[in-house]
Structure 1
Amino acid sequence: MKAVCWMGKSKVETLSVPDPTLLNPHDAIIKVTKTAICGSDLHLYDGFIPTMESGDILGHEFMGIVEEVGKDVTNLKRGDRVVVPFTIACGNCAFCKKQVWAACDNTNANAHLMEAAYGYSGSGLFGYSHMMGGYAGGQAQYVRVPFANVGPLRIESDLPDEKVLFLSDIFPTGYMAAENAQIQPGDTVAVWGCGPVGQFAIASAFMLGAARVIAIDRLPERLEMARSIGAITVDYSEQDVDVLTALKDLTAGTGPDSCIDAVGLEAHSAELQGVYDAVKTTLMMETDRPIVLRQAIQAVRKGGTLSVPGVYGGLLDKVPFGAAFGKGITMKMGQTNMHKYMKPLLERIEQGQIDPSYIISHRITLEQAPEMYKIWRDKKDNVTKIVIDPWASAFNQEQLPTEPEDRSA
């Protein structure tokens, strides 16, 4: 089969690799019909996430048709159409039973690597380094899905793939970010980052009762998309625009009730702190660029809430924790507990409350993925979200049939 593989920092290739096989009676093999490049994949591309190995298959946002199931998989059958969550959960450990699915104790085979870095290990993830399980990702024609009795969500309606694909990660991630923000009816919410997760955080904040959402970014296409769903926008790249001052002006000096950092470790800034972080990360004296986190802590009102869906990988410098303490804020963060949100959000899509496909700007083939990683990283060509059809040819963009093939021969 064809798959998009990580070959080193800033190097991705589309290669022919062996088809996956069932390794465990709880496995399923999925024929991928749609997959996507996520903003957090860029952290791998840019070399910020350790324990990647040359040839690792990328991708954690995917859906498809069940091709084959292990003998202990009872909830799926060949031909079922499913969306697969990017976190892998066993369903039986203490954390899964508490619905803290992303903290599953049993799905990261390399838990010792995470424990060495973080003290404890979370769940395994598809296509996201060996310290998170070393699972092959979904930017491929086929993928092995472990614990298939627990993860995949069957799609039994005729909704097109593009309307449900983002249930695999970014729609639940944006929704959980808004839920973690503890929004009350009438609140003002500030969202840093108008990429895909930021867009869904904005939309979800309105769903949960926010009266105003202030969206902060520098890219015109993202700011326009945020305005199109009702947000007030702040372009921090404009001359004489100071984000903290703008937020005070928009909130009569009190600050937003909730702030959402949907950017994470690769934040940008033309200010001195941006130069400071760039130098320190280059010298490996700091692993992340926490510019947004600093601003959000300073901006949120006294007693407010800071929600962090943006990925952070390691050690941060100059975080104003005294301000967080002094204002008595609440901070909530972490990998998305996907299994809690997928079905309720599917119901919102089915009811017409939201069509997540509005964020898509590019539809490509697997062969085009390496170049699109560069375009996505460099924010060129007005890119907002990239969806891949693994069965389309670079010479013929028409989608091939998605009925399961007979691979038993």
Structure 2
Amino acid sequence: MGPYRGAQAEFLRVPFADLSCTKLPGSPGDKWEDDFIMLSDVFPTGFFATQLAMVMPGLPVAVFGAGPVGLLAAYSAILQGAAQVFVVDYIPERLKLAKSIGAIPIDFTLSDPVAMIEALRSQHSKVDTVLPGEEKLQGIMSSIENLARSVGANLEVARSDPVTMIQMLRAGNPAIVQSLLPGEEKMKGVMCGIDAVGYQARDRQDPSRENPTQVISDLVRLINPTGHLGVIGVYTADDPGAYNERAKKGEYILPFGELWEKGMTVGTGQTPVKKLQPMLRDMIIAGVAKPSFIISHKIPIEEAPEAYREFANRTEGFTKVTIQFEK
């Protein structure tokens, strides 16, 4: 709040407590404790991401980034009745968590995530997973190749331009053609996209390298005309470790022309945590929401420095860590 930074300690002096604190029922260690901890920041932030992206019941949603914020953004979209929720990342444990809440996980190391989501939206609307090593993806790719051959084209998906792949899929699928009203074309993307990564986005071709514009560029391609982009991932005006001089000042080259032509809205900003806390608290109490599913580790405070290092390095298995004190 204001100039006051957050803290992690057994006891904390809270400034302006009447305004800053939110009343919670129960007692320490009860069934709600882990869920209530998520109210301090990450659950409101994930929910606010859906507001930035104007998520509504029945709309398809794509969330790029399966960290704690991205997972809770996907969870919030599901709670609000989104038709489909895709979660894009490359860390298997986080993608499995996305699947566990009913989202469709997309591993961007397998292929262009935009092409994969469009293919799933066009031909496999009920597919439940695209995870590394599973047969589902091979079945999808084989289906696309078969559709291409049925209209007289010999298409090898692994070597194909994704745009050609999608066009063939749509042209060769009678169910899709019949579902269109006269003069209409089914939009194959999503209406709501969420960037839950920010300037530390991984390059799709080389995940060991940062590419700050990767996620936003992919989302601009994926979001349908008149759709909505919510940017909850952090972008900063001062990044001394960036890869070039412009990026060090928070200046990036973005596909603004395509964004403008599509008539997309863009929402950004820091989360009004206090505003959202009472509603999300009541959802937890009512049993509607259980955001603690993202917790992967519970540690004593002495282990916090090492846990921070593991989380910063995106070590597999580290999704959300909570600190526990002796009662």
Contact 2:204 2:214 in 1 (8 A): no
Over 3 Å counting, the alpha-carbon distance change for 1:331 and 1:270 in structure 2 is closer
Q: Over residues 235-256 of structure 1, what are the superposed CA-to-partner deviations in whole Å (9 max), with x where a residue is unaligned?
A: 0122xx1112112212335311
CA distance in 2, matches of 1:207, 1:225: 16
Report the CA distance between 1:224 and its aligned residue: 0.5
Q: Does 1:150 align with 2:19?
A: yes
Q: Does 1:348 align with 2:283?
A: yes
Aligned to 1:36: none
Q: Over residues 193-234 of structure 1, what are the superposed CA-to-partner deviations in whole Å (9 max), with x where a residue is unaligned?
A: 111111111111112121100110101111001001111111
- Residue from 214, 232, 235 that aligns with 2:104: 232
Q: Does 1:337 align with 2:260?
A: no
Q: Which runs of 5+ in 1 are unaligned?
A: 1-87, 89-123, 125-132, 279-288, 392-398, 401-409
Report the CA distance between 1:173 and its aligned residue: 0.8
CA distance in 2, matches of 1:273, 1:218: 8
Aligned to 2:161: none
Q: Does 1:265 align with 2:226?
A: no
- Residue from 140, 152, 158 that aligns with 2:9: 140
Report the CA distance between 1:272 and its aligned residue: 7.2
Contact 1:179 1:208 in 2 (8 A): no
Aligned to 1:213: 85
Report the CA distance between 1:304 and its aligned residue: 0.1
Over 3 Å counting, the alpha-carbon distance change for 1:274 and 1:254 in structure 2 is farther
> TM-score, length-normalised on structure 2?
0.72
Q: Over residues 264-285 of structure 1, what are the superposed CA-to-partner deviations in whole Å (9 max), with x where a residue is unaligned?
A: 121112437985x56xxxxxxx
CA distance in 1, matches of 2:114, 2:258: 14
- Residue from 192, 215, 225 that aligns with 1:302: 225
Contact 1:185 1:211 in 2 (8 A): yes
**3-state SS of paired residue (2:35):** helix
Report the CA distance between 1:170 and its aligned residue: 0.7
Aligned to 1:201: 73
CA distance in 2, matches of 1:194, 1:256: 18
- Residue from 48, 66, 74 that aligns with 1:176: 48
Aligned to 1:246: 116
CA distance in 2, matches of 1:151, 1:249: 46
**3-state SS of paired residue (1:185):** coil
Structure 1 runs (4+) greater than 4 angstroms displaced? 272-275
Contact 2:32 2:284 in 1 (8 A): no
Report the CA distance between 1:192 and its aligned residue: 0.4
Letter aligned with residue 232 of structure 1: I
Report the CA distance between 1:386 and its aligned residue: 0.5
Which structure has greater strand proportion?
A: 1
Aligned to 1:311: 234
How does 1:2-401 map onto structure 2 within 5 Å? 88=1, 124=2, 133=3, 135-158=4-27, 159-238=31-110, 241-252=111-122, 254-271=188-205, 289-314=212-237, 315-389=250-324, 391=325, 399-400=326-327
**3-state SS of paired residue (1:149):** helix
Contact 2:42 2:68 in 1 (8 A): yes
CA distance in 2, matches of 1:235, 1:336: 28
Report the CA distance between 1:141 and its aligned residue: 2.8
Count of aligned residue pairs for this structure pair:
248
**TM-align CA RMSD:** 1.9
Which structure has greater helix proportion?
A: 2
CA distance in 2, matches of 1:146, 1:176: 24
Over 3 Å counting, the alpha-carbon distance change for 1:316 and 1:297 in structure 2 is farther
Over 3 Å counting, the alpha-carbon distance change for 1:145 and 1:323 in structure 2 is same
Aligned to 1:53: none
CA distance in 2, matches of 1:323, 1:191: 20
Letter aligned with residue 291 of structure 1: Q
Q: Over residues 88-112 of structure 1, what are the superposed CA-to-partner deviations in whole Å (9 max), with x where a residue is unaligned?
A: 2xxxxxxxxxxxxxxxxxxxxxxxx
Q: Over residues 166-205 of structure 1, what are the superposed CA-to-partner deviations in whole Å (9 max), with x where a residue is unaligned?
A: 1011111111111222123221100001111111111111
Over 3 Å counting, the alpha-carbon distance change for 1:272 and 1:227 in structure 2 is closer
Contact 1:302 1:328 in 2 (8 A): yes
CA distance in 1, matches of 2:61, 2:78: 9
Aligned to 1:395: none
Contact 2:109 2:205 in 1 (8 A): no
